[in-house]
């Protein structure tokens, strides 16, 4: 009886839009109205951070942010701006058992990150601490990485990073606090150093946070030739301009 009910819940009802709870049809993802509001990131943007510019300053121009606070990673790219709609997708995937959203989100990421994956050797999903993995049951970064791998042909390198301790929530912390919060949070396990050394890697996560830098550093220390970052969503300051 319970199994039958579960089956009906899993397969009998059309999925709801994670942003407005409206009906979507059978293919999952957002309803048409919410989908139209999603804000895709397109050039021109900062070559390093991938943050969009208000006008085109020409190729290879960096944002003020990239120059004043250069990240450990080489380049970051994101599919969409982090807003209410993007946040609803991220939360539904992360906490709402909406694994059916991963293929669409991952395909958008693959498109945004083509420049990075074109000559990359492997994708590295940002790991969850094991306790979080237990409560959430799955790693959303790993789920997205599998879709990007399928789309780009770049394989996933599993277990290249180990989360040493659970990091408290990053939201609401200032830059310096966030950096301290994640410092030393990730390591390359000894048995994976050989798989990392000399390779061009793309870190995969759902949202760009200071965790990207905390992951890039140990990979570079282990001899990675390059570390780029590809995420589904990133916060974009509307006032950002090239210098
Ligand atoms: Zn909707």
pLDDT tens per residue across span 141-171? 999 999 999 999 999 999 999 887 655 555 5
Q: How confident is the model at residue 135 (pLDDT cuts 50, 70, 90)?
A: low
Q: Which residue has the higher pLDDT, 95 or 165?
A: 95
Q: Contact at 8 Å (CB) between 145 and 125?
A: yes
Q: Which of 100, 84, 122 minimizes the C-alpha distance to 202?
A: 122
> What pLDDT is attached to residue 96?
75
Which whole number is the average pLDDT over 198-207? Answer: 97
Asked if pLDDT for residue 75 goes beyond 80, the answer is yes
Averaged pLDDT of the chain: 85
Q: How far is the CA of 21 from the centre of ligand 1 (A)?
A: 6
Residue 191 contacts by C-beta under 8 Å, 6 or more apart in sequence? none
Q: How many Å lie between the centroid of ligand 1 and the Cα of residue 84? A: 11
Alpha carbons 157 and 193: distance in angstroms, whole number:
12
How far does the centroid of ligand 1 lie from the alpha carbon of residue 175, in Å? 33
Whole-number Å distance, alpha carbon 23 to ligand 1 midpoint, is 8
Quote the ligand 1 centre to 74 CA distance (angstroms).
35
131 vs 161: CA distance, rounded Å: 16
- CA of 9 relative to ligand 1 center, distance in Å: 20
- Maximum distance among all Cα pairs of the chain, rounded to whole angstroms: 64
* Ligand 1 center–CA 24 separation, angstroms: 7
Residue 39, class by beta-carbon neighbours within 10 Å (0-12 exposed, 13-18 middle, 19+ buried)? middle
* pLDDT of amino acid 54: 86
pLDDT of residue 138: 75
What pLDDT does residue 58 have? 86
Q: Which residues surround ligand 1, an ion (CB under 5 A)?
A: 17, 19-20, 22, 31, 34
Q: What pLDDT does 136 receive? A: 57
């Amino acid at each position: 009886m319970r199994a039958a009910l579960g089956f009906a819940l899993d397969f009998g009802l059309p999925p709801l839009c994670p942003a407005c709870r409206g009906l979507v049809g059978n293919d999952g993802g957002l309803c048409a109205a919410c989908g139209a509001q999603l804000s895709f990131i397109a050039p021109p943007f900062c070559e390093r951070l991938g943050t969009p510019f208000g006008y085109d300053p020409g190729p290879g121009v960096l944002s003020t942010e990239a120059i004043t606070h250069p990240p450990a990673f080489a380049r970051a790219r994101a599919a969409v701006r982090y807003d209410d709609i993007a946040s609803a997708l991220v939360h539904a995937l992360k906490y709402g058992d909406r694994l059916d959203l991963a293929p669409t989100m991952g395909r958008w990421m693959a498109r945004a990150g083509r420049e990075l994956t074109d000559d990359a050797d492997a994708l590295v999903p940002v790991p969850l601490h094991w306790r979080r993995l237990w409560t959430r049951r799955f790693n959303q970064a790993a789920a997205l990485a599998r879709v990007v791998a399928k789309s780009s042909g770049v394989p996933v390198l599993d277990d290249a990073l180990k989360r040493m301790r659970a990091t408290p929530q990053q939201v609401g912390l200032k830059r310096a606090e966030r950096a301290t919060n994640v410092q030393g949070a990730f390591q390359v396990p000894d048995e994976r150093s050989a798989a990392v050394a000399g390779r061009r890697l793309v870190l995969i996560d759902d949202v760009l946070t200071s965790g990207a830098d905390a992951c890039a550093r140990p990979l570079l220390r282990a001899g990675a030739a390059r570390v780029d970052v590809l995420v589904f969503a990133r916060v974009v300051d509307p006032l950002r301009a090239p210098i």
